[in-house]
Structure 1
């Protein structure tokens, strides 16, 4: 593909090397915006922040749910036995 008017396909010329890294980290997005015009840079950085926040929130919810399930399992499985408890195989 040829670079025409500063744009190669749908991305600025020279930005191709950043696109894979941009999908992988917020720091790479900051590196990418250094090479973009101001309005585009703001939009890309805003999208990267939103994606990072969304992913972080999702992982926090999953980790919290996992912690609650683990705590309940620990409380149930590690409770002390009383004399009347019967365990199969005893």
Structure 2
């Protein structure tokens, strides 16, 4: 399967990427190779092959999630440059555009 330069341009637009013409040619070659590798899978006889869910039989051993208070509200607010009784006060970061 071959991919056209128009398809590369479309994908670049969707990903908000900009390529020079030289980079576009290189990207086209790379994408052709990737699609060629994927096409090889169609040549294989996969009858009876179970889908791979895990790469190994190993399982993560995780500690139990236990809720604990590490920092009290007063301790957290103690060094805040600007605070209310229960909250950090921060400057607005979003501006509303007026019509």
TM-score range with shorter-chain normalisation? 0.3 to 0.5
The higher-RCO structure (CA 8 Å, 6+ apart) is: 2
The structure with the greater share of residues assigned to strand is: 1
More helix by share: 1
**Structure number, greater radius of gyration:** 2
| TM-score when normalising by structure 2 | 0.31
